[in-house]
Amino acid sequence: MATSTALDHDIYLFHQGNLRYAYQLLGAHFETQNGEEGIRFTVWAPHAVEVNVVGSFNDWDGSQHPMKKVNDNGIWSTFIPNLSTGTVYKYELLTPHGHLQLKADPYAFSSELRPNTASVTYPLHQYDWNDEEWMNQRKETNLYESPLSIYELHLGSWKNIEPEVFYNFREYANMIIPYVKDLGYTHIELLPVNEHPFDRSWGYQATGYYAVTSRYGTPDDFKYFVDQCHQHGIGVILDWVPGHFCKDEQGLRRFGGEPLYEYENPAKAEKTQWGTLTFDFGRNEVQSFLISNAIYWLKEFHLDGLRVDAVASMLYLSFGKEEGEWEPNEYGGPENLEAVAFIRKMNEAVFEEVPNVLMMAEESTSWPLVSAPTYVGGLGFNYKWNMGWMNDMLKYIEMDPIHRKYHHNLITFSLFYAFSENFVLPISHDEVVHGKKSLLNKMPGDYWQKFANLRAFLAFMYAHPGKKLLFMGTEFGQFDEWKDLEDLDFELMDYDSHASIKHYVGQLHQLYREHPALWEFDHQEEGFEWIDANNYEQSIVSFVRNSSCSRDQLVIVCNFTPVVYHDYKVGVPAEGVYEEVFTSDAVHFGGSGQLNGNLLHTSNVPWQGQNQHVSMTIPPLAVSFLKRTSTLEEDMS
């Protein structure tokens, strides 16, 4: 590797933990040296006594292509001429203990199809993007005051050729994009697509952090998927796992014979709950590796955001461990101070390099200011999953309606903290697997009531402050919980109830996207006002969603029992004429058809803290959306 001032500076930044594009320095790169085309291999392996490049091109004989040390901090490099795209390779490392290791390249862009584990050379910049319009528009979008509804999916079980045999990213693009667009989602969120050895880890236990999994194709195939999504107006978010990595021998574990990417102290390194290892967040080179990885996915693949998995497991040394299995920090607390500092550093780097993307934390504790900027003491994400809302609502909606009045606080408590963070309301894969049942099958009651409960739950979710996320299958009422080795039960849509739910989700999204009151002030207190939060006896709540235009205001009334109420008084914030613009009880959604077909004129009699009210029909297990269509004066003229 040629020496230059720029190269020396990159190496310096790498060892300082500040090289944000480390994947351009490390890994396998196509170059021309001394007039010869070939590949430069560069790896960080400070514990290794000797490092060689091996592959089919040299019969896996390490003596043929030894690497040379570039510096005393463990960077090794060599140039091998006449190698091309698709070259299969590994690093052969001689450890201080005299053992030979065969390791995949930590910075490889592609890998062999499992169960094979070698890295594969692949050029980084050959794809011709056609999403300029989307990317320019993204720069101008206010993420917080825009609709955001996410369809979370696992490619291999959305649809497959047969169990463990999958379609290509390009084929998935042609199938998924029209489906998601028809449903009205704004974004797709993919479970991890970096290389992982075990299908049933769903990508959350990785070996190749820079390698697009070969299960679904090449890096360019994945770029095509994202490109096509963007051309059809759909954003793409990727699940990303900087908290831990799996222990498979070809991976990062004991790279060069000693702990390197993981903590040296087993009490900090071991993720006993998952059988994985924690990154050493205090090691500078690991910081360069992870921060560069986040930027790599966002920049090179034009992704619109990362959902950062298991943030709580990074923040707490005690996460998933019993007393005596972890050691407190220097102040005696359970917080991993190095991880906290890393997370802040990572988010600062991401937003400086790739402005206006989504950095979403799946953080399950009450850690404060997760989605606040670092300069005010926050972690620097711009969104946090609202796990409290999710747990409360699922607990509530699974109850028989006769018991719900005793647990009314479960549907109201979230509004005490709804604006403390920028929240996403998630119903993710974790809630419909491992015996938890599908969302539809969580619902109590007979067949009709299950669907009515599901419609009411979804309508309440979309009316509640916060952005939205639903896992695949929910949109048509998957009865079985997520079967990760099989594809979705799309054949259920041959039945009216399931076809009606899919139609309902599409119409709910249309309502959501067309009414700024449902998203413009998601993170501001003025965007929400209770009308009646206290009617626990009838399990009815009503509230207002506001926007910057008062005429866009919506009144939402939710009934979580199967009882119909006629001439039910609901206080409204302004006098005039109200229209029911949406109800989950409509017949074409599978409901009972208890509609408010006539315009609702306000009565000038105070009610529920409002100066006027309307009398309406409250449908069973349903949510009604009312909008003021005219003032009283306009109606009389």
Tokens standing for residue 491: 């054949």
The one catalytic residue in 10, 280, 338, 362 is 362
Environment class of residue 405 by beta-carbon count within 10 Å: exposed (0-12), middle (13-18) or buried (19+)? middle
Q: Which residues on neighbouring strands pair with residue 32, listed in sequence order?
A: 37
How far apart are the C-alpha atoms of 501 and 439, rounded to whole Å?
12
Q: Indicate the helix (H) or strand (E) that contains 297.
A: helix 284-300
Sign of the Cα pseudo-torsion (242, 245, 251, 253, in order): positive
Helix (H, G, I), strand (E, B) or coil at 291: helix
Residue 178: asked if its preceding bond is cis (omega within 30°), the reply is no
First to last CA, the chain: 82
Helix (H, G, I), strand (E, B) or coil at 293: helix
Q: Indicate the helix (H) or strand (E) that contains 344.
A: helix 337-353
Residue closest to 569 by CA, chosen among 561, 560, 592, 578: 578
- The CA-atom distances, in angstroms, between 526 and each of 322, 409, 419, 534, 536 are 43, 22, 10, 20, 24
Q: Is 362 among the residues known to form the active site?
A: yes
Which positions ≥6 away from 564 have C-beta within 8 Å? 592, 594, 617, 618, 619, 620
DSSP letter string, 516-571: GGGTTTTTSGGGEEEEEEEETTTTEEEEEE--SSGGG-EEEEEE-SS--EEEEEEE
CB 135 within 8 A of CB 230: yes
Residue closest to 26 by CA, chosen among 74, 92, 95: 74
Interior/surface letters 477-487, b for 16+ CB within 10 angstroms, e for the rest: bbeebbebeeb
What letter would DSSP give residue 605?
S
How far apart are the C-alpha atoms of 605 and 169, rounded to whole Å?
60
294 φ, ψ (degrees, to nearest 5): -60, -45
Q: Any idea which residue has 């690497």 for tokens?
A: 67
Q: Where are the alpha helices (DSSP H) in 2-151?
A: 5-16, 132-140
Q: Is 8 among the residues known to form the active site?
A: no
CB 182 within 8 A of CB 506: yes
The one catalytic residue in 309, 481, 522, 532 is 309
CB 93 within 8 A of CB 50: yes
Which positions ≥6 away from 443 have C-beta within 8 Å? 397, 398, 449, 450, 451, 453, 454, 457
Which positions ≥6 away from 18 have C-beta within 8 Å? 284, 287, 288
Active site residues: 309, 362
